[in-house]
Amino acid sequence: MPILSKATGTECLCVGPRYLATFQPKQVPHFFTDVLVIGSGLAGLRAALEVDPNLSVLVVTKAELQLSNTACAQGGIAAVLGSDDCFDDHVADTLIAGGVLCDRDVVRSVVEEAPRRVFELIEWGTKFDQEGSRLALTREGGHRHNRVVHADGDATGREVMRALAHRVQQAPNISVWQNTFTIDLLIHATQCGGALVWNRQHGKTSIWAKETILAAGGAGQIYRETTNPEVATGDGLAIAYRAGAEIRDLEFMQFHPTVLYVAGSSRHLITEAVRGEGAHLIDRDGHRFMLDYDPRAELAPRDIVSGAIVTQMERTRHPNVYLDLAHLDPQFVRHRFPGISALCAQFGLDITCDRIPVRPGAHYMMGGVTVDRDGRTTLPRLWAAGEVASTGLHGANRLASNSLSEAAVYAAHAGREASTAAALQNDSFHASALENSPIDSGGEPLDIADIRNSLKSLMWRACGVRRDASGLAEAAESIGRWCRYVLSRQFSNPIGWELQNMLIVAGLIVQAATLRTESRGGHIRTDYPEPDDERWNRHISFAVGVSRQDDSIPREAEVNRSRPIARSAVVEPRPQVHHGKTITLEFAGGYWEGKTLHTDSADQEESLLASACYEMAHHGTIGAECVGLSDDAVTYARLHGWPEAADAGLQGAHRYRVVEHRETEQEIVVKLQFQPKNA
């Protein structure tokens, strides 16, 4: 039976069979387990470990156990662990990055649970980097505090996976099938009953499970430029969609700003932490350009940095920009980033003195299979966690290093709930009479590699960092044409099934991007460069036979409309003057009791500090419950040429909260009230 997704105002792209491969219950072996986990990244292994030891768990993974997006993660895990940090600040940073499409309750729950999950990983053997007896914390773009734990300098994911894989292998109730491709979910009586899988040893097998947890990762390989490993072809999204689960927010692909761009090499991520430790972004002429686009410079959220890089590449007519670490201590750089140092050395680059060529690449899918707070999907007996899931944490733009926090939290929830549900069901060892008959595909053999490469190039060109109606229409026409003769075929190996999955997911991404006629977070429309809050404070969801524009986002969400949502359209440099208006800041209480600062002051330091305070208030602090202007204001001032900014009285306990903001034709007045550190 063919499946169809009808998206209002766009031609349907995703027409295909319910099951990709032929199978018949008398001709394939059957395997029974209490809980099936599809995927072996952090989310998959953590979910498996949460299941009751008295229940059987089977982990099915597409490649080797430790080959996943998690294993490639360099930066770290974001959690409130520093003495100068607080949950409210982490919540606020996440909401500023993701905007109104974040679910505030989800954000707070993940932020508050993340430290527990970090300590759990430590208890299970993960060796995070330390400074003396304390965890070493770094800062990445969009974070106002150092709150990212890391391991082996720039190999956090690899270390986390080492510890988790060891623990899984010691668990007697958990079995792992490596190099096993999940073709489709098996649906019986409108419930998920397991999955049809394939490997070279035994061909197709029907796995029957009381509960199934989907943790199959992302879809970066749909794009030509990506940080994702070869296995990230969107399989989890495609099999969930074909099975009838709801998926949403697929237009929000995050493009990492700094991907190593060396001709002939695969695209390797250069972690955000490099900029967090002080690296500069420069163009071909050596100009440090990020200061022209955002006062946070290299520490701005990823959508802004990616957009700025693309603009600068166009202006300089150069295929990339560069990361520059030459001003940092060489010994520190090599110790902090040993993996990146070794990687670049393979191409004759010494990161302590040579410029590192970089450009954006597809990195993380903010959308995914819709889940509730426990990881429950809209399809009974199917759960999801990790990048394949859409939890409401990331909104339109993921805050750096929040993904591993989310994966650990939601995997624990999904594992616990799936375990509870499976324990309530009796063993039946009954295989449903599901089958998918063979069809005569006919025609000549397809050049799958050629179609795949064409799709990846098309998606990068037409649905990459920037999109517009004409490019999306071109993509829709080409993908629709390929789907008509690729999805009608029954392949017998993962190469063909991967291509079919990639086409389905790419088609849905293009449909969602076409529908969302605005720019928001990771979705940038050059023909609609501004956000449209009246129409688009909502999710775009797809399920078999229907698309839906969710009206559940409150109009007066906690992320106040008076606060700009972090976004990047056709990024232009920020003006140095705020529309010619004088900005006055009036302080009450604390270190600056009775102090007034003016941006047009003859005193250069006063003018600079006033600008720093205003920029931080303007970029998200209005209305926040716990706002620290200190670190960000000092960073801003330092970046603008005032190295003594640390002595200005805004550090440590000197914290202020915006209590009033008014604007006239000539002046902007901001009143700030002292807020004690522990308030």
pLDDT digits (tens, 9 = 90+) for 562-595: 222 222 223 333 333 344 577 888 878 766 678 8
121 in Cβ contact with 408 (< 8 Å): yes
pLDDT of residue 6: 36
Distance, in Å, from the CA atom of 23 to the CA atom of 20, rounded to the nearest integer, reads 10
Distance, in Å, from the CA atom of 376 to the CA atom of 385, rounded to the nearest integer, reads 9
Task: Tally Cβ neighbours within 10 Å of residue 438.
Answer: 10
Question: Dihedral sign, CA of 43, 502, 371, 417?
Answer: negative
Instruction: Please enumerate in sequence order all residues whose Cβ is within 8 A of that of 585, keeping only pairs 6 or more positions apart, or say none.
Output: 596, 597, 598, 610, 613, 614, 669, 670, 671, 672
pLDDT of residue 338: 87
Tokens of 397: 């733009």
Q: Which of 46, 139, 144, 302 is catalytic?
A: 302
Share of the chain above pLDDT 90, in %: 57
- Walking along the chain (679 residues) 10 residues at a time, the average pLDDT comes out as 38 73 92 97 96 97 76 76 90 92 95 92 90 85 88 81 94 96 94 96 95 96 90 96 95 92 78 87 95 89 87 93 95 89 91 94 94 96 97 93 94 97 91 85 85 96 94 95 92 95 96 95 92 92 72 35 26 38 79 76 69 57 33 47 49 58 80 66
pLDDT digits (tens, 9 = 90+) for 440-492: 776 788 999 999 999 999 999 999 989 999 999 999 999 999 999 999 999 99
pLDDT of residue 604: 64
302 has catalytic annotation? yes
225 in Cβ contact with 325 (< 8 Å): no
Q: What single-letter DSSP state applies at residue 574?
A: P
Task: Tally Cβ neighbours within 10 Å of residue 127.
Answer: 13
Core vs surface per residue 255-280: b (16+ CB within 10 A) or e? bbbbbbbbeeeebbbbbbbbbbbebb
Residue whose C-alpha is closest to residue 414's, from 362, 375, 371: 375
Tokens of 106: 């989800």
Strands ordered across the beta sheet of 546-549? 389-390, 368-370, 247-248, 540-543, 546-549
